[in-house]
Amino acid sequence: MTRIIIRPFKVEDRDFVRYLCCETAFFGKPAEKFFEGREVLADILTRYFTDFEPESLFIAEIDGVKAGYLAGSRDIKKLKKIFKMKILPVVIIKALLTGTIFKKKNMVFIYNCAKSFFKKELFFHDFSSQYPATLHINVDSGYRNMKIGEKLVEQYYDYLRKQNTKGVFLETVSERAVKFFQRMGFLILRKQRISYYSHLTDEKVYRFTLGKKLL
């Protein structure tokens, strides 16, 4: 019988989290579709959670094998401050020293992000007064459709309620993820079309903001 365990993050899980985030970074597929340089990307996507708020990070195991994770933060304002002051400068230096920033695929993506910035697609509405916590979740492709995501989110709900956190929000460009989180009680707070993936797909892509009140 398959046994699913959700447990707190351990230091030795750090490489797994960084690997899986890159394996699923592009609509559930490997990051290389849009960005080359996993060390830089993993720093951007996961370093805050593994290094600055590991107590809000949970690992899913199936029969002792790591299958997924949920990375959360109880305070999005704290996350943004630490990212800006302590993570981003290091990431920029690493990207320059390793030449990651100069790779053709990355330069195209950065250029498209710059265009999105001037189109005001990268401006984020502040929902922190009602939804101070945030999360992102990743499950290995070989272990999907096994209720792992549901168990991770439910564990996170319990954790946040014990911390008297009144709400949690997230952002995603995956419509499949939107449907999943709606089943978990989230409501769509905002929907905005984005264009920084336009060089990779002809389909319209939207960024969704979803929130759930806990208290």
Tens digit of each residue's pLDDT (9 = 90 or more) over 29-87: 999 999 999 999 999 999 999 999 999 999 999 988 999 999 999 999 999 999 999 99
Give pTM, 2 decimals.
Answer: 0.94
For residue 144, pLDDT beyond 90: no
Distance CA 16, CA 121 (A): 31
Predicted pLDDT at 108: 94
pLDDT of residue 125: 87
Which residues, in sequence order, are CB contacts of 154 under 8 Å at separation 6+?
Answer: 184
Rounded Cα distance between 183 and 164, Å, is: 23
Domain around 38: 4-213
From residue 96, give the alpha-carbon distance in Å to each of 28, 99, 103: 27, 5, 11
Note whether 69 and 57 are within 8 A (CB).
yes
Quote the CA–CA distance of 135 and 185 in Å, as a whole number.
14
User: How far, in Å, are 86, 127, 175, 176, 199 from residue 156 at the CA level?
Assistant: 26, 19, 22, 20, 36
CA 66 vs CA 15, 48, 143, 150, 159: distances in Å:
11, 20, 10, 16, 20
- In CATH, what number is assigned to the domain containing residue 79? 3.40.630.30
pLDDT in tens, 108-137: 999 999 999 888 888 888 999 999 999 999
Each residue of 8-22: pLDDT tens digit?
A: 999 999 999 999 999
User: Which stretches does DSSP call E strand in 45-86?
Assistant: 57-62, 65-73
User: What is the pLDDT of the chain when averaged over all its residues?
Assistant: 94
Which tokens go with 149? 């995501």
Indicate the DSSP class of residue 119. T
Rg (Cα) of the chain, in Å, rounded? Answer: 17
pLDDT at 86: 97
Please give the tally of structural domains in the chain.
1
